Amino acid sequence: MQGLMMDMPLLISSILQHADRHFGDTEIVSRRVEGDIHRYTYSQCHQRARRVADALTRLGVHNGDRIATLAWNGYRHMELYYAVGGMGAVAHTINPRLHPDQIAWIVNHAGDSYLAFDTTFLPIIEAIAAKCPTVKGWIAMIDADKHPVSDKIPNLINYETLLSGGNDDFQWPELDERSAVALCYTSGTTGNPKGAMYSHRSTVLHAYAAALPDAMGASSRDSILPVVPMFHVNAWGLPYTAPMVGAKMVFPGPALDGKSLYELFETEGVTFSAGVPTVWLGLLQHVKQHDLKFSTFKRTVIGGSACPPAMIRTFNDDYGVEVVHAWGMTELSPLGTLSKLAGKHQKLSPAAQQKILEKQGHVIYGIDMKIVGDDGQDLPWDGTTFGNLLVRGPWVIKEYFKGEGGDPLVYDKEGRGWFPTGDVATIDADGYMQITDRSKDVIKSGGEWISSIDLENLAIAHPAVANAAVIGVAHPKWDERPLLIVARKPGAEVTREELLKFYEGKIAKFWMPDDVQFVDAIPLGATGKILKTRLREQFKDYTLPTA
């Protein structure tokens, strides 16, 4: 027997429509490349998104066409998310921090038909325009009177001029909820990047899930500033979750330094934010240096790479900001787990609670996970046994765009597909997952595994350390041994011996790094994560003193 409920497809256009009707005067505030602060409302955003959709239709954009963006977090980028996805085309966000050759490769692989960009990235567009034959026009997202001129870019269109030719009586089409809405490529640390193609359905379900109290816990009382870029897995879904709950949005644009961020946090009453650990280093340094406090900032989600426990403590103890440690991936839209205390944890000592909050956390309803051995057999949830982490759920990819890399899933006895994350993890009896390492970063020493993440977290807690990375270096007897690579804080002094001493009593003896090397800066990749591939390359001729 069938249920007798309405069949309404889950479409992203309905999210912005909802925000317009029910939170119409709630603000979206953006720092712009023009240099000023722009403010308008969800109603105005919806009106402009419909105009853009109409203008793109007039340009000949069809269902399923890919429209790329190379842009900061801002209101025009938000309009494009909804205009492009809502009309049935695909919003393809590209990370501008990638090398121009990689960007051109991605544009060509995706077959983008238009590309909209913030003018900060004009030099990239000039470098790639001639190499991207599928792109029919390049759209500069800037006021018409500041429109750039370039003889290297054919068909350079102004966003505002384009928009003024669109009609705001555009009606959002009733699409199949399984149709594609957005495309994001993985960073391609191994081989070429691969595209994760999100559907309307997966995006709406992910937005619901992200809003849950034990996930991001977003509400209409929040003022949300996504520091995580809209080109890094859709700013972790916040451009969908915020309008769904009617939260105010604050976009930092190109200014991601501590001072500019702090200003916006204060002037716009920001209550909630999200970003990778490295961006918070800058903000925390700024507030500490100037002896500042946050007046409204209460919670932040930190993920993308392991959040150092010292950062959780600083936010909480010194600034009263709750850190929610989260784990996810491009292939998961991206949210998988978040760490919040459950009812049963309320009576634990602060130290025991802290241990739980340091984990990557509990799955949100919708995602299922398990750990398996190399033989594919399930491993116990005891908090110590680690294995390969597999996930499944309605916002997990089943294959990459254009079938790249073949079938990525592994199948269980019932024939259900699971996505192998490439992460090694433990899960405790309460279902809290902790990442041990990426399988390619874990250090294999004499048949035992050493977590580079744990060693990095400890090093970062040293007051003289600005950032630290640990890589495995070949060793004749042990296969691999850990090498600690450290960037000191400006003006700070610390020796190799002091750092090794700092580990004593905190780790098993065989985990002790065999050596320490100092560098000016730890190289970071396009999404702010430590570039271990670069470090391995840099230290490829290095031999351990113990070798």
Task: Assign 535 to helix, strand or coil.
Answer: helix
Is 255 buried (19+), middle (13-18) or exposed (0-12) by CB count in 10 A?
middle
Does the annotation count 444 as an active-site position? yes
Q: Please state the closest distance from residue 423 (CB atom) to ligand ADP, in A.
A: 5
The one segment of 48-56, 79-87, 141-149, 420-428 that binds ligand ADP by CB under 6 A: 420-428
Write the DSSP symbol of residue 348.
Answer: S
Q: x/- string (CB under 6 A) for ligand ADP, residues 187-206? A: x-------------------
Looking at residues 438 to 467 of the shown chain, list those that interact with ligand ADP (rule: CB under 6 A).
438
Q: Is 501 a catalytic residue?
A: no
Tell me if residue 449 is catalytic: yes
| For ligand ADP, the closer CB: 131 or 440 | 440
- d(CA 355, CA 453) in angstroms, rounded, equals 15
Of all helices (H) and strands (E), which one includes residue 413?
none
Q: Which of 423, 216, 417 is nearest to 335 (CA)?
A: 216
Nearer to ligand ADP, 383 or 422 (CB): 422
Residue closer to ligand ADP, measured from CB, 13 or 330: 330
CB of 79 to ligand ADP, least distance (A): 25
**Residues near 274 by beta carbon (within 8 Å), at least 6 away in sequence:** 216, 226, 227, 228, 235, 236, 238, 300, 301, 302, 303
In the complex with ligand ADP, the residue whose CB is nearer, 69 or 330, is 330
**What would the x/- binding string for ligand ADP be over residues 318 to 347, using CB under 6 A?**
-------xxxxxx---x-------------
Do the Cβ atoms of 115 and 136 come closer than 8 Å? Answer: no
Site for ligand ADP in 511-530 (CB under 6 A): 527, 529
Interface with ligand ADP, residue 534, by CB under 6 A: no
Residue 498 a catalytic site member: no
Indicate which residue of 79, 177, 268, 331 is catalytic. Answer: 331
State the binding string over 484-503 for ligand ADP (x if CB under 6 A, else -).
Answer: --------------------
Structure-token pair, residue 449: 């595994």
**Closer to ligand ADP by Cβ: residue 158 or 527:** 527
Which position among 186, 203, 241, 436 bears the catalytic label?
186
Q: Which of 160, 449, 489, 533 is catalytic?
A: 449
User: DSSP letter string over 286-322?
Assistant: HHHHTT---SS--EEEEESSPPPHHHHHIIIIIH--E
Calpha distance 94→66 (Å, rounded) = 12
| Smallest distance from ligand ADP to CB 308, Å | 10
Find the binder of ligand ADP among 241, 421, 426, 451 (CB under 6 A): 421
Length of the chain measured in residues: 547
Amino acid identity at 192: N
Question: Toward ligand ADP, which CB reaches closer, 36 or 537?
Answer: 537
The pair of three-digit structure tokens given for residue 385, joined into one six-digit string = 């046994």
Which residues have a Cβ under 8 Å from the Cβ of 59 and sit 6 or more positions away?
A: 114, 136, 137, 162
Q: Hey, which residues are catalytic here? A: 186, 331, 444, 449
**Footprint of ligand ADP (CB under 6 A):** 186-187, 303-307, 325-330, 334, 360, 421-423, 435, 438, 527, 529
